Structure 1
Amino acid sequence: ARIYLGKVTKWNDAALKNDNPTAKLPDTAITVAHRSDGSGTTNIFTDYLSKVSPDWKSGPGKGTSVNWPAGLGGKGNEGVTGLVKQTEGAIGYVELAYANQNKLPTAELKSHDGQWAKASLESVSAAAAKAAIPEDYRVSITDQPGDGAYPIAAFTYLLVYRDQQDAAKGSALLNFIWWAVHDGQKEAAALDYAPLPKPVVEKVEQTLKRMTVNGKPVLASSK
């Protein structure tokens, strides 16, 4: 958080040396890259910063767009990536799928439990494993406890009407979502998305079984 607050400005700052005692850190200025447009990625990132830094929480805070105290803005993941690649000493944030597909190095971060966690599909799934999921699924899973949990993580959502009015389309949609959270999860890793852990799958199952088509349940008796 202190990097994005503009308080740590060199890669060989004492705070970074303490966290990386065996690394040879350069005397290079840090350039912060952030989104210039509003984005869910920014909301997730600033939500994490607000949880781990009182100064960030009381300052820029969290949101899809904030008043950045330092750095350069780029539009979209590609804009932030361009700034990082073209600027010596730059650091930025993009979604994991984009980082993997563009072969970008990622940072190990200290988790809620004090462990150093690498950004990976496994560590993102671990972040979701112990989350308390409310009925409307509106939940933050940044800075989650749990072994191996990466502290910057989030769900991707589907917005679906609880009662479907078109019988054919509604039934097909609910069965597709059921497939997606079961057999479909086998395809997630190839797309650089983390599979849902078992507790979350079970929560989704319960929700799907309560959903209806013209007032009648579709999946309750067949699954």
Structure 2
Amino acid sequence: MKLSAFAKVAAIGGIAALTLTSCATNESGADTGDSASSSLSGELVGAGASSQDSAQGAWVAGFQTANADVTVNYEPSGSGAGRETFQQGASAFAGSDRAFKTDEISAGPFEGCATGDIVEFPAYISPIAIIFNVEGVDSLKLDAATVAKIFSGEITKWNDAAIADQNPDATLPDQNISAVHRSDESGTTGNFTDYLAAAAPEDWTVGSIESWPTEFGGEGAQGTSGVVSAVTNGTGTIGYADASQAGELGTVEIKVGEEYVAYSPEAAAAIVDASPLEEGRTDHDLAIALDRTSTEAGVYPIVLVSYLIGCEEYADAANAELVKSYFSYIVSEDGQSTAAEAAGSAPISEDLRGKIQTAIDSIK
């Protein structure tokens, strides 16, 4: 849906309300060390994935410390809203828990870009945790089929045999399961359902989708924080969220091959490094084709690869300079370690960083 002129102003106004400051260092496209050495100035507006919220806070803080005359505003409005805001020219960049599909790129529009070509790359890699709140149970082991049946409503009790057989040492109550899902269009939902569609196709038949299927029922909640809050404050609840926000909730180990694997940044990074780039993309569109069915030891398959998206050529040269510098800081070693400390994400590999920097360098 195309944003009206009023909606664009409202979007920018809402984004501008979120300005973060703190301390960190910077490198690559942005100046390092004393902020007095930076020649950058202006306001940079971004919006999108709520999964990136903690990381964006750290990135904004570090970048603004090194570039005192720059203000970066990021609104964690959700992946779908972020992509739309970027397409309509109301933000200079977007965060998204999936890359644009090739037909979406062809259809456009990208009103802030001088051409229809975009730069997109994975900037934030994190496992998606399956979180639950069942009294007396801190951890569970589940295979893909059982997870699919829980979230589709086929399994409705916590002491169902499919759960109990995989968790013989757990005391599971005769209690109804309340499955919580994202109510908004969400890249986290897209990644979660992509795993279910690949790993349990007979039990999850609706495919990889970003909007939750209404026929499955359950409780909807807005954004990552909404899902976490609903699971935390409910009884017998289960949901899915970026692992950085799982907190003290119970979490699920996922069956991979013959083993059960707990989520970790290392396990998330392992599946990304083992997966190829998608075919049919331009040189600077670095979408990853994740292998959700890998049986390699230590791989956690429910991983969120969250992208940053910008124009290859901006209509406004000032946006190009700021985006290029900010993106370069984010993918730098300092930027990635800052996000890891703030959000528990997995730093990108050196090989992937090189490919990404080449894409960023193309921005003009």
Query: Which bin holds the TM-score, normalised by the shorter protein?
Result: 0.7 to 0.9
Unaligned runs of 5+ in 2: 1-147
Superposed displacement of residue 164, structure 1: 4.9
Q: Which amino acid aligns with 2:233?
A: Q
Superposed displacement of residue 106, structure 1: 2.0
Match of 2:261 in 1: 117
Query: What TM-score, normalized by structure 2, do the two folds share?
Result: 0.51
Match of residue 196, structure 1, among 342, 348, 352:
348
Match of residue 329, structure 2, among 156, 179, 193:
179
Match of 1:61 in 2: 207
> 1:87-110: per-residue Cα shift (whole Å, max 9, x none)?
22110111122224xx33321111
Structure 2 counterpart SS, 1:156: strand
Q: Is 1:126–1:197's contact at 8 Å kept on the other side of the alignment?
A: no
Structure 2 counterpart SS, 1:189: helix
Corresponding position: 1:86 with 2:86: no
Query: What TM-score, normalized by structure 1, do the two folds share?
Result: 0.80
Q: For 2:193 and 2:363, how far apart are their aligned partners in 1?
A: 37
Superposed displacement of residue 179, structure 1: 3.3
Q: Is 2:158–2:177's contact at 8 Å kept on the other side of the alignment?
A: yes
Match of 1:128 in 2: 272
Match of 1:163 in 2: 313
Structure 2 counterpart SS, 1:154: strand
Q: For 1:105 and 1:158, how far apart are their aligned partners in 2?
A: 30
Q: Is 1:46–1:63's contact at 8 Å kept on the other side of the alignment?
A: yes
Q: Is 2:277–2:286's contact at 8 Å kept on the other side of the alignment?
A: yes
Match of 2:286 in 1: 137
Structure 2 counterpart SS, 1:54: coil
> 1:138-195: per-residue Cα shift (whole Å, max 9, x none)?
3343625343222111222111222356666535543443332222112121221221
Q: Is 1:33–1:92's contact at 8 Å kept on the other side of the alignment?
A: yes
> 1:181-219: per-residue Cα shift (whole Å, max 9, x none)?
22211212122122113332232134334x153xxxxxx
Identity rate, percent: 34
Match of 1:23 in 2: 170
Q: For 1:201 and 1:38, how far apart are their aligned partners in 2?
A: 29
How many pairs does the alignment contain?
208
Q: For 1:206 and 1:114, how far apart are their aligned partners in 2?
A: 39
> 1:24-66: per-residue Cα shift (whole Å, max 9, x none)?
22222211111222211111111111112223543x3321113
Greater share of residues in strand: 2
Q: For 1:37 and 1:56, how far apart are their aligned partners in 2?
A: 23
Q: Which amino acid aligns with 2:292?
A: D
Q: What is the RMSD of the two structures over their aligned residues, measured on CA atoms? A: 2.4
